Amino acid sequence: MNTIRFFMFISGLLLSLSHAHAATVEKGKPNQRFTYEVSYLGMSIGEMTQAYQWQGSKVSVDSAADFSFMLFSFGGNQQSELDWDEDKGLFYSRYFQRESEGFSTVKMTATFDQLGQSTEIVNNGETSTFTSDGNQIVDFNAINLQISEGLKRGQTLFEFYMQTSTKVSHYFFEVKGKEMVKTPLGEVEAYRVEQIRKSDRTFVTWFAPKFDHQMVKFEYQRRVLDIEGELIDYRNDI
């Protein structure tokens, strides 16, 4: 199991296809922290957190995972710097630093150009560059924020190009409606968002308006993987 790829999948989703609506990011938005319990085949394997610190139209995101299974411990963290473009209604990844330990060891930095269409990656001391033929590239920490804003504007189809350590991956997601979801923090109404155009996996997430349209639950199944997670703690204005 690649820790960082797994963490990237369950931590976020997407870049929206349509930007025609007005921006909804509030000035003076409070800092936030979301903590999720993660389970494999129904057994808890640890927690992951996402913390957001805002300064005007800029946001710093700190994501961390701390897992253990049987005799193995693994995890990692990623710190990202993002910009919000009010005219386009988009979050732009500017820079991130990632480290992971366990099944794989990664020390990686990424720097994005002004338009977000090319990146320079330094991965375990080796430098490489990536381009997306005119499409915006983001890191996974931008994705949860982008889908949150898209849901507020009523978007139902999403597409994003996400930078990994070795390539730019292309993903699609679709809103399938609203459902009532039980969580440790109570039952909430949430948008059901599913990954599409991938026949080898099932990836479903739920985003709740009550928690600032952020993720409250996810399910991911692929081959031998059967992973679930749910929000267990939410801190506002930390």
Flag whether 237 is in a domain. no
The pTM (predicted TM-score) of the whole model is 0.84
At residue 114, the 3 state secondary structure works out as: coil
From residue 172, how far is each of 16, 112, 115, 160, 222 by CA, in Å? 10, 22, 21, 7, 17
User: Dihedrals φ, ψ of 75, to 5°?
Assistant: 170, -170
Flag whether 236 is in a domain. no
Flag whether 58 is in a domain. yes
Please tell me the least confidently modeled range out of 26-30, 54-58, 82-86: 26-30
94-105 residue pLDDT tens: 999 998 876 667
From residue 64, how far is each of 11, 21, 48, 99, 159 by CA, in Å? 10, 32, 5, 10, 24
Flag whether 148 is in a domain. yes
Residue range of the domain that includes 108: 3-29+54-65+72-220
180-216 residue pLDDT tens: 999 999 999 999 999 999 888 899 999 999 999 999 9
Beta strands, E only, 70-167: 72-85, 90-101, 106-112, 118-123, 126-131, 137-138, 157-163
Q: Residue 219 and residue 215: Cα distance in Å, rounded?
A: 11
Q: What is the pLDDT of residue 231?
A: 97
Flag whether 191 is in a domain. yes
At residue 148, the 3 state secondary structure works out as: helix
Sign of CA dihedral 8, 191, 193, 228: positive
Q: What is the pLDDT of residue 14?
A: 30
Flag whether 36 is in a domain. no
Q: Residue 109 and residue 68: Cα distance in Å, rounded?
A: 25
> b/e per residue, 147-185, with b = 16+ CB within 10 A?
bbbbbeeebbebebbbbbbeebeebbbebeeeeebebee
Total domains in the fold of the chain: 1
Of 40, 13, 58, whose CA–CA distance to 162 is shortest?
13
Flag whether 44 is in a domain. no
64-92 residue pLDDT tens: 988 887 767 777 889 999 999 988 889 99
Flag whether 21 is in a domain. yes
- Residue whose pair of structure tokens reads 């499409």 in the numeric block: 135
